Structure 1
């Protein structure tokens, strides 16, 4: 398995991490006291504010970013492009996504959008690796 393939697994797990962060403030509390409601998790998450709401938004964005990244990696590998370059671009994508999540949680909207754009560009670059 290549580094890029491992990066696909990491990329798929990053939104799950964001979901855990978004829900973390509700763990250990009773539902009636505002604790996490696993019977209606989407509704509960929609009522969150601050960094927890941003973590939930980062989760959604993470899932949205997966198809283009996965397609880029798989297309590059199918075309037998340089694996070293594919691996490097995949690692850059993961680094950008981690930075993106941090910026989202810190409410740094402009920088976050710039990093998001770089991540999209990295996914597109995979098609031309």
Structure 2
């Protein structure tokens, strides 16, 4: 589903998660950027500068806090997700439909990681 006109997301990726998690999530966001749904991506953490090369390679920016990333965000909507978040296959359609309705907060449940007691990380979509 194509995004509604002018409805682009600023994605803020937060801890927990290491460089592999961050790179994996960035890679999963690329199709949404190509489709025009994702406008920009930030990695927001106190140690974000240490991961600046990884972020720059992926076209993402760094911020030292969630608040700082929110202040730099230019999209009308924010998707805030932990680095361990793995979006489900239909996430772009769900987000596009939500944006078309123009409604408030949407919780997106990610793909459950392996492990007996593992919980699927969630992301939150909200208007900026």
Q: TM-score, normalised by structure 1?
A: 0.31
Q: Looking at CA atoms only, which structure, 1 or 2, has the larger radius of gyration?
A: 1
Q: TM-score, normalised by structure 2?
A: 0.31
More strand by share: 2
